[in-house]
Amino acid sequence: MIFSSATFLFLFLPVFFLLHLVLPGTKTKNILLVVASLLFYAWGEGIYVLLMIISVFLGWLAGILIAKYDKYAKAITAISVILNIGMLFVYKYAGFFVEIINYIPGIEIPAVTVRLPLGISFFTFQILSYVIDVYRDRSIVNKSYFSTLLYISFFPQLIAGPIVKYHDINLQIESRKVTAEGAAEGIRRFIIGLSKKLLIADVTALVVDSIFALETGSMSGACAWLGAILYIFQIYFDFSGYSDMAIGLGQMFGFTFKENFNYPYVSLGIRDFWRRWHISLSTWFREYLYISLGGNRKGNVRTYVNLFIVFLATGLWHGANFTFLVWGIYNGILIVLERAEIIKIKNKVLCHIYTTFAVIIGFVIFRADSLSVAFSYIGRMFTPSAYTGGFSDALSFCTPYLICTAIFAIVCCLPVLPYIKGKMQTLSLRKVSVLEGATYVLVLLMLFVCIMVLAANTYSPFIYFRF
């Protein structure tokens, strides 16, 4: 089940939201949310819901043992981490490593084919967050398996994040309050995310998929650039749209999730980009991997190595493919070069141009089916002869609808809303109320358009479902 489906919008969400409003007490509401979350996951994954339930149980048990047996806490934590990483390896990376081993002459291991459970990277990282947080602070151990299961399986963030760290939400599980204002803001945020997905990401996806399906040797450089630029819009509005919907749903049920995006395409440098892009993942790696490796406490060389390892892991986290691995290495190298001030651009305009080009090239690698396709595609972007045949293939994709969508996407990539909110602080309370009311009218109009689009479109999963 996905958020942008009729089943979710008109059946699942209204039923469980209304039940959550009328049921008394936090414990009763938590039971409802666990049932809803397991149903949500089982709807598409069936038997794999048992894998998640067992994984959560083992993580919860590890937390109990860590809190009870201080002498063995470190060993229990290590075992739990190894078990969870091992499970992730089996389902996500076993086939990839068999493929690598088979490159060795004389070795031929049968291919390993295991279907990847949806959201396994996300719920595994949240289990790890729980276990490590309990190891660091025994007092926050959750003695209720049911509450721990809710933290891991809560349906808004279960399949594609944001990755919610346990210490950020543990108090909300036991005590929270649903207010009319919070629910209204949550609904508004959800509709904004839904609009990002249906009105921008899915529109650009049609063109991106068509261009990346072309033979790279025959496409023009302009067509290659068009596909690359549109893809950065697709992936941003697809993923940030999901995050908006997850955060909005959390608000509707009384939870507050941290932001996952902060206008990444206005970044000045790749370091700045990763402070703004998929914030929950980058902060997770910083808290649980980078700091554990020593962070920046052991000299510059060790800092650079630690940063590189983090981005190597970031690439692998996204998938078992050489493209993701190279994408992680690519970002790691740029981060290290910027940290070492080998890449240092003081002029903001030039720095923004450099960052935009670096991000576009990186996402071409990320999007391509293989490294050979990625490098061939990038080659067309920078080969002068690729522009001698004209731009007719690129222009054939540039319909008025796509051009309007692209313009709208560019505006939405800019921090326009924070600017407007800042200006609103200088207005009278009455004017602010009128503008607030206008925003709700606008989002209702957006919802109406989304419903019309949804009725005409086919199934369109979110990009990060496969991670």
- Active site amino acids: 318
Question: Residues 6 or more apart from 334 whose CB is under 8 A from it?
Answer: 270, 343, 358
Rounded to a whole number, what is the distance in angstroms from the first to the last CA of the chain? 16
What whole-number distance in Å separates Cα of residue 155 and Cα of residue 139?
Answer: 26
- What contacts 187, CB < 8 A, 6 or more positions away? 248, 252, 443
331 touches 270 (CB < 8 A): yes
Residue 246: which residues within 8 A CB-CB, separation 6 or more?
Answer: 156, 157, 160, 161, 162, 193, 257
Query: Would you say 316 and 93 are in contact if contact means Cβ atoms under 8 Å apart?
Result: yes
Q: Which residues are within 8 A (CB) of 303 and not within 5 positions of it... i.e. 6 or more apart?
A: 295, 296, 339
Q: With CA atoms as reference, report the closest residue to 461 among 114, 209, 93.
A: 209
**Which tokens hold the place of 169?**
């939400």
Place of tokens 């955060």: 247
Q: Which two tokens stand for residue 383?
A: 């080969």
Residue 258 is given by DSSP the state P
Cα atoms found within 13 Å of the Cα of residue 76, Cβ hemisphere only: 21
CB contact set of 339 (below 8 Å; sequence gap of 6+): 271, 303, 304, 307
Reduced to 3 states, what is the DSSP secondary structure of residue 236? helix
Cα–Cα dist 156/162, whole Å? 9
Q: How far apart are CA 351 and CA 345, in angstroms?
A: 5
Q: What would the DSSP string read from start to end of 127-161?
A: HHHHHHHHHH-GGG----HHHHHHHHH-HHHHTT-
